[in-house]
Amino acid sequence: MSRRRKPRTPATSSTPPNDGTPLGALSDADLLREIARRRLAKGTFDIDAIEELAQAAQRDLGEETLAAAMAALPPEDDKPKACPKCRQLAPVKAKNRLRHILTTAGELRLTRNYHHCSHCGLGFSPRDAELNLPEEGEVSTAMERRILDFGVNDTFESVAERWSIHFSTSISSNLVRRVVDRVGLRCEAAHSEEALQMACREKPAEPPSMLTVATDGSMLLTREANWKEVKVGVVARGGFIPPGEERPRRRVEDARYVAVLGGQPEFKKAMAAALSVERADEVGTVVWLGDGAHENWTLATELCPLAVQVLDVPHAVHWAMLCGKALLGEGHCLLPQWEARTHELLDADSPEAAIQELMDCLEFATTPEQLAALDDVVGYYRSNEKRMRYRLFRSRGLPVGSGIVESAHRHVLQVRMKRAGQRWGMVRARRMVRLRAVYRTAGAVRFHRAIRDGLKAPALRHKSQLLPNAPRRVKYNDSAPSRVSPLNRAAAAAASK
Ligand SMILES: [Zn+2]
């Protein structure tokens, strides 16, 4: 198929095109027919061969289209051009400088003028800007989107290998790494956390009736510092479980994810953005689930003072089991009963009954380790008493399990970052953690675009954003679920007119 493309006219037209080669007089359609006839005569024309022929034709056509499009561009003049940075005129420094760009249609070879600005030292090619080419890198935007989709879901080596199954080109694992790094940098440079959240998923037009928030930590193996904690948060609409139903049916797509390999202030900022875009201040019921970590509840109280704080049941049971193992011994045959009894005792309006039975075990604790284990679980239950009113929470249909955050760990981190033998450099790990959260929030189709949009200031679509927030410092009180006063909203609406 490599010959100069002729107009697609039937071969019967007055003068058939001819490039001098043996089949040069044939039209495209006739050429394909001739190739098919010859292959068939050789007896090797099965579906594989047919597909191969079709793909080769597509590839040739793609490259010819690219070359034709480049040839159709008007020639560049040699006049100085305005520098994109300082707007001073910069002369041409080199002509016909070659740039290769990998596109979805094949490799683009582009020769263009290179200008150098003596005022600010910037080098630039005006043609790159005309064509809207990425400033750096060797792939087009469409190609970047494709590689990124693979790169956030699989190891770089595996992507390079799998690529050749899907496409006729081949790419290196280093190219995948560079693309993911570049987009990761862009993601870190987002205008603000809010801008990124809004680019991922639109702010709801009406505040949802209920929000479930959950936070937890997950350990990641890094090269520099061995194990490092990734803070994971999820903000999901809904979460109400009709009493009597054990397993809520939840779609993970309904959630916003936050993941930070870094300190609490950074995590707080990211969580605050997710909550604000989800209009948490206007939501009737917010449930905040977490383990017993103190900083977790400080964060909940600061960001969502009206939220119902719930210590998730699996964590509560986990601490009782640590104590049971210390008292009875690891693997003891009574441990399943110990667990069942813990569940029974915790199904109450306070952990008091559980604490009482644990205290009754005091006389059996003989070693300092056993005493410490008892002390730990009792202290843990005492400091989380208000967050353990499980019977009340269940009767209200509030979630008390850890399913939502466990699924966040799995979907955001585990599948990409915690595979057997994986060790991450800190810089790349930080970026990937962030990319994964954005990927899960935005969804595969919107992901690449969301990161670009996140660089811009968010568009103010709802007037409520311009209004002062509802009073936030309210005493935590579960017996009366929070509701923003309708009067406040009416007054605010009136003020905005
Ligand atoms: Zn300049």
pLDDT digits (tens, 9 = 90+) for 71-112: 999 999 999 999 999 999 999 999 999 999 999 999 999 999
CB 306 within 8 A of CB 483: no
The predicted pLDDT at position 198 comes to 93
- Predicted TM-score (pTM) of the model is 0.81
pLDDT digits (tens, 9 = 90+) for 296-317: 999 999 999 989 999 999 999 9
Domain extent at residue 351: 315-387
Residues 6+ apart with CB under 8 A from 13: none
Q: Provide mean pLDDT across the span 194-211.
A: 91
| Per-residue pLDDT at 153 exceeds 90 | yes
Tell me the three state secondary structure of residue 232: strand
* CA 81 – ligand 1 centroid, Å: 10
Q: Provide mean pLDDT across the span 285-305.
A: 92
416-440-472-467 Cα dihedral, nearest 10 degrees = 140
Residues 197 and 300 in one domain: yes
* CA 90 – ligand 1 centroid, Å: 7
Report the 10 Å Cβ neighbour count for 316.
Answer: 26
| Per-residue pLDDT at 370 exceeds 60 | yes
Give the closest residue to 313 by CA, choosing from 359, 339, 346.
346
* CA 99 – ligand 1 centroid, Å: 22
Q: How many CA atoms lie within 13 A of 22 on its CB side?
A: 2
Residue 473 lies in a domain: no
Residues 202 and 289 in one domain: yes
* CA 82 – ligand 1 centroid, Å: 8
Tell me the three state secondary structure of residue 285: strand
Tokens linked to 104: 């979805």
* CA 195 – ligand 1 centroid, Å: 30
**Count of helix runs (H) and strand runs (E) in the chain:** 19, 10
Residues 428 and 374 in one domain: no
Phi and psi based region of residue 329 (left: phi greater than 0; alpha: psi -120 to 50; beta: remaining)? left
* CA 115 – ligand 1 centroid, Å: 10
Residue 174 lies in a domain: yes
* CA 454 – ligand 1 centroid, Å: 27
- Burial letters 440-455, b for 16+ CB under 10 A, else e: bbbeeebbbebbebbe
* CA 108 – ligand 1 centroid, Å: 28
* CA 122 – ligand 1 centroid, Å: 5
* CA 80 – ligand 1 centroid, Å: 12
**111-125, 225-239, 251-265, 464-478: least confident range:** 464-478
Given pLDDT bands bounded at 50, 70 and 90, which one contains residue 484?
very low
pLDDT digits (tens, 9 = 90+) for 395-410: 988 989 888 888 889 9
Distance CA 364, CA 435 (A): 51
* CA 185 – ligand 1 centroid, Å: 24
Residues 276 and 238 in one domain: yes
Residues 222 and 303 in one domain: yes
Residues 94 and 140 in one domain: yes
DSSP string, 83-134: -TTT--EE-EEEEEEEEEEEETTEEEEEEEEEEE-TTT--EE-HHHHHTT--
* CA 84 – ligand 1 centroid, Å: 7
Residues 197 and 280 in one domain: yes
* CA 453 – ligand 1 centroid, Å: 26
| Per-residue pLDDT at 210 exceeds 60 | yes
* CA 93 – ligand 1 centroid, Å: 13
Given pLDDT bands bounded at 50, 70 and 90, which one contains residue 293?
confident
* CA 120 – ligand 1 centroid, Å: 4
Residue 298 lies in a domain: yes
Residue carrying the six token digits 């999901």:
236
Residue 305 lies in a domain: yes
Distance CA 480, CA 376 (A): 31
How many structural domains are present in the chain? 4
* CA 119 – ligand 1 centroid, Å: 5
Residues 183 and 198 in one domain: no
Q: Tell me which of 360, 387, 414 is where a domain ends.
A: 387
Residues 372 and 421 in one domain: no
Residues 261 and 409 in one domain: yes
Residues 261 and 133 in one domain: no
Residues 109 and 171 in one domain: yes
Q: Tell me which of 21, 53, 71 is where a domain ends.
A: 71
